[in-house]
Amino acid sequence: MTTMSGSDGASAGGSGGRGWFTPASDAAPAERPAPDAPDTAATPQGTTTVAPEPEPVPEAEPHPAPPQAAAAPTPSAAPESRASAAPTDQLADSELIRTSMAELERSSEAATAYFYALLFVQYPHLREMFPAAMDNQRDRLFRALLTAVRLYDDGKILTEYLGNLGRGHRKYGTQPTHYPAVGECLMAAIARYTPQSWGPRTEAAWVRAYTAISQTMIDAAAEDEKRAPAWWDAEIVSHELRTPEIAVITVRPDKPYPFRAGQYTSLETPWWPRVWRHYSFASAPRPDGLLTFHVKSVPAGWVSSALVQRARPGDVLRLGPPAGSMIVDHRADSGLLCLGGGTGIAPIKALVEDVAGQGRPRPVEVFYGARTDHDLYDLDTMLRLQERHPWLSVRPVVAAGRARAAAEALAGELPDAVRRYGPWSAYDGYLSGPPGMIRTGVETLVGCGIPTHRIRHDSLDELVGQGA
């Protein structure tokens, strides 16, 4: 994950719910990679995905009517769910689905375009739930499908992933009645673009899988509705430009907003309706209920650019539910080894405040990585925290040039700096930054003796890509 701190394609630290049915475009938490990132969901053990991706330049996209397709079964007709199927049936379904997905990958762009065209032609009332420009939306369905397929045999992680999607979709106005329409068009698209592997058995496997998946999302949304609103309105009370591209924004939600340090949320601005981006919380929960985000604008970043350059105190944003599992287990005594890159330092700062609030000292080692000294925009804050807490160590790492002498910055790449210290095998790892940093960071921590189940980050796409 990208981090979900705050750039249009990277952090969240980053969550929301990009998924089988993702009405409005979401980008993942900061460079947490960067949280102006698409809405993604978190998984247990801090394996959320909030992978940042650059936003497209807004432009309208025509939706040609699709060729005539054979009617596909709706999910509601499925005879059984994955949970109730026998293990052998689950295995058979899994193999059939994976085979068809491998074939679908070869024409994923055409298949997703066909799916959306079919959906909007046959169910035009659903079009208003999606952003005006669909450029950045196109690959969301396929990527979510790929994620669900890869997690299909891990019931616990899949359920957590889908639950977050279902809860996150409430902010779009998604209703249970929408899922059969999506399922019908999805089956038609898969059937059309997998001629070699599609057949009655594969179709039945997909129907069972989609039925179980959609029901999990529906149930999670219904349960969430009992205790939380679909979204929160939040007024900007402070907007501070740290650099020409990075703003620290503090908001006041209209209702109590429960979250945990290390999590992220999805955010919508009044200037780009139905376009959501992920951002990490930059502080632990506060008595005054205020929330702070670090946002970095990126080229063609609709939301991030608006938040950095246009937003002002008094503007009202909309927040989705909190998500992410990059949280601290306060029952443990292990130390925390935290790697934050760019605006990915935002959730790391929140974790430090969280540990401090527990009143029980435990070692926390923070490596704050940046390309140049200019990018260490929150270093003074981190150093002040270090002065207050003897159990905290902050090491800035600059890849190009040198940082301020007083900061005693380490020169070079973040993984190399981490390897110079340690040992780290008794620590839990926390990673927040761009996707590449997450990838190399995980490899580095594993190489330093930290097992994968004790490494937390909010970048599910990266996790799935590693087969973890």
- The CATH architecture annotation of domain 26-58+230-319 reads Beta Barrel (2.40)
Residue 321, by phi and psi: left (phi above 0), alpha (psi -120 to 50) or beta? Answer: beta
Cα gap 80→71, rounded to integer Å:
20
Q: Which residues contact 175 (CB under 8 A, 6 or more apart)?
A: none
CB atoms within 10 A of CB 65: 10
Half-sphere exposure of 73 (CA within 13 A, CB side): 16
E strand residue ranges, 359-398 = 364-370, 392-398
CATH 1.10.260.40 is right for the domain spanning 75-225:
no
Bond before 363 cis per omega within 30 degrees: no
What are 354's two structure tokens? 């969280």
Domain ranges of the chain: 26-58+230-319, 75-225, 335-465
Q: Which amino acid does the sequence have at 263?
A: Q
- Beta strands, E only, 177-296: 232-241, 246-253, 264-268, 276-280, 291-296
Q: What is the pLDDT along the chain (468 residues), one digit of tens a residue?
A: 334 445 454 344 333 333 444 454 433 344 333 434 434 333 333 333 333 333 333 333 333 333 333 344 443 333 333 444 444 566 688 899 999 999 998 998 899 889 999 999 999 998 888 776 666 666 666 677 777 877 877 788 888 888 888 888 888 888 999 999 999 999 999 999 999 999 999 999 999 999 999 999 999 999 989 999 989 999 999 999 999 999 999 999 999 999 999 999 999 999 998 888 999 999 999 999 999 999 999 888 889 999 999 999 999 999 999 988 899 999 998 999 999 999 999 999 999 999 999 988 899 999 999 988 888 999 999 999 999 999 999 999 998 765 554 457 788 889 999 999 989 999 999 999 988 899 999 999 999 999 999 999 976 443 333 333
- 335-465 CATH choice from 3.40.50.970, 3.30.390.50, 2.60.40.10, 3.40.50.80: 3.40.50.80
